[in-house]
Structure 1
Amino acid sequence: MGFVKEFKEFAIKGNAFDLAVGVIIGGAFGKIVTSVIDDLIMPIVAALVGKPDFSSIYFAMGKGAENIPAGSTLAKAKELAPDAAIFAYGNFITVAINFILLALVVFILVKTINKMRKTEAENPAAPAAPTATEQLLAEIRDELKKK
């Protein structure tokens, strides 16, 4: 088998194609979930906690830390005290909250889909009524069986 033919079979094979579609849909879904978290949920969390951006929370220590005025942004603190050890834990808090919210959204989505599947499995769709042609053929079959 030639290389091109073998590659074509691999690329068009159902599993590889399904995987590619899944990756593309997953990327698009990831953007939707990120938007839900960043644009809808995080502002509510920030309003409750009182900080619009956790990434600017830090603790400066060591040489030059005393030169940083209270309330300075992280970028300003790094600029004012380049030799200070800056423990920037706020970004970790933001990432951790984003992860928890992302996991919660995915959990709710999976739970909802599983519930829909379970309901669909419990209540299968009624079989469609036979068409006029099928009824006529059944009558003909029954008549032929009688003879």
Structure 2
Amino acid sequence: MLKDFRAFIARGNVLDLAVGVIIGGAFATITKSLTDDIIMPVVGALFGGFDFSSYFIRLGAIPADYKGSVDSYAQLKAAGVPLLGYGEFLTVVINFVILAFIVFLLMRSVNKVIATVEREKAAGTAEPAAEPAEVVLLREIRDELKGRGAVPPTA
């Protein structure tokens, strides 16, 4: 069983998957920064400067010893107040759509490159063009003269 597991892990597909997961994690970090630091502020500015994460519904009471803002989702959540954070959910959905669009663009570009390479490969493996009739005729003449002994054999 251990031998089979080792063979499974050593296969290229598993290693490719591991590399993909690692690169995907790094890519997700970049996309999160793009969304949080560039896109969402622009969207917020277009819609009056609001932050989506500030939209929530309080589902329970605020503790008596709470000292933070009653409008801060992060502070209320940290204090253990039950919240329905639909603004955070909206932010995550927007992040997903942006990530999916970026992956779509990436895969579209990769597919175009692959198609170009395959076309060039197919064009390169085509049968060579037929020799011109003059070349064929000259070879026949040479071979006939060799057969008569009129031309010394070439190496």
TM-score by length of 1: 0.57
Q: Give me the identity figure in percent.
A: 43
2:109 alignment partner, one of 112, 115, 118: 112
Structure ID, larger Rg: 2
Q: How far off its partner does 1:29 sit?
A: 2.1
Segments of structure 1 that go 5 or more residues without pairing to the other structure are 65-70, 128-145
Runs of 4+ in structure 1 deviating by more than 6 angstroms, as ranges, are 61-64
Segments of structure 2 that go 5 or more residues without pairing to the other structure are 63-68, 125-142, 144-154
Task: Note the aligned Cα RMSD (angstroms).
Answer: 3.8
Higher relative contact order (CA 8 A, sep 6+): 1
Partner deviation per Cα, 1:31-89 (whole Å, 9 max, x = no partner): 2222222222222222212335211123568989xxxxxx951349959xx99x86542
TM-score by length of 2: 0.54
Q: How many pairs are equivalent?
A: 118
Structure 2 Cα separation of the partners of residues 99 and 121 of structure 1: 32
Q: Work out whether 1:20 is the aligned partner of 2:21.
A: no
- Are the aligned partners of 2:73 and 2:85 in contact in 1 as well (CA < 8 Å)? no
Q: Which residue of 1 aligns with 2:51?
A: 53
- Are the aligned partners of 2:28 and 2:99 in contact in 1 as well (CA < 8 Å)? no
Q: How does 1:1-147 map to 2 (within 5 A)?
A: 4-59=2-57, 73-75=71-73, 78=76, 87-124=84-121
